[in-house]
Homo-oligomer: A and B are copies of this chain.
Amino acid sequence: MTDAIRLKAKDYKSEVKPIWCPGCGHFSVHNAITKAMAALGIDKDRTVLVSGIGCSSRLPAYVDSYGFHGVHGRGLAIAQGLKVARPDLTVLALGGDGDGFSIGGNHFIHACRRNVDITYIAMDNEVYGMTKGQASPTTPMDWDHSKLTPHGPGVRPFKPAALALASGAPWIARGYSGNPNQIAKLIAEAVEFPGFSFLHVMSQCITFCPEQTDWKAIVTESEAPPLADADEAAKQFLHEDGFQTGLLYREQRATWPPPGATAAEEGAPGKLAAAFRV
């Protein structure tokens, strides 16, 4: 960033007032993003936040950068297209557990596999907040607060970190909305990591899952260095209770597209046309 004055976190907030319920975990993520931006001294004009639809996906408008509030479940696809076309930009994709793991599940696993250099923050409250509290793919089997699944979804929840690992994600971390400073630190690392970085944030929905205030008591913060071994990571991710936070896994591998893929050939369009002449 060329700007001489160092910006503070609050300088990265836009003037739009969030629509979230008081006490919503997404406020923490919003704070953490702006903190990370400040810590990185990131250029607002060269940063884009992309999202789908959901309470969480409303976030881009609250940050003073470029943003794209897309359609439900497709934020990751927009973000990848943007980054491939404009490798000079810093691109973050954001969304909820419904947006990312339910309707957007295919883009999630393919983004992990494709390894385009973007950061993806999934704000997981184990519920569809925006549509007033239905079960998501991470909702506990027996959560019976939704009339749509009155006896609970009855289906084992996804373990997003395990899914990301199996799909090929090279950088996996977890945060908790009760600890925005840690989220900020992880976001900064994710942005700097060259490749697809997946940050899973447990972000409580105070309105539809007030019981999530109990998360506070069971969250653990990992001090251990991130695992670089996929076996170990898989073992951990399949078994964990889902509340260990910190950088969990990191591996270096080639990003896509390969660097320098877009060098133009001298006079190319003309030559292409010429090839059709008899």
Contact = CB atoms under 8 A, between A and B. Distances in A.
B166 A165 contact: yes
Per assembly, the copies of the chain total 2
A253 interface: yes
Interface in A192-242: 230-231, 234-235, 237-239
B105 A155 contact: no
Interface string A159-190: 10011011110000000000000000000000
Contacts of A143: none
A106 interface: yes
Interface residues of A, number: 34
A44 interface: no
Interface stretch (A33-41, A87-95, A108-116, A126-134): A108-116
A156 interface: yes
A137 B106 CA distance: 12
A23 interface: no
A158 interface: yes
Interface string A102-124: 11011001100111000000000
A163 B257 CA distance: 23
B155 A166 contact: no
A254 B154 CA distance: 9
A114 to B, nearest CB: 5
Given A109-B109, A154-B256, 14 more contacts: A103-B106, A105-B105, A105-B106, A110-B137, A113-B158, A114-B155, A154-B257, A154-B258, A163-B166, A163-B167, A166-B237, A230-B238, A231-B234, A235-B235
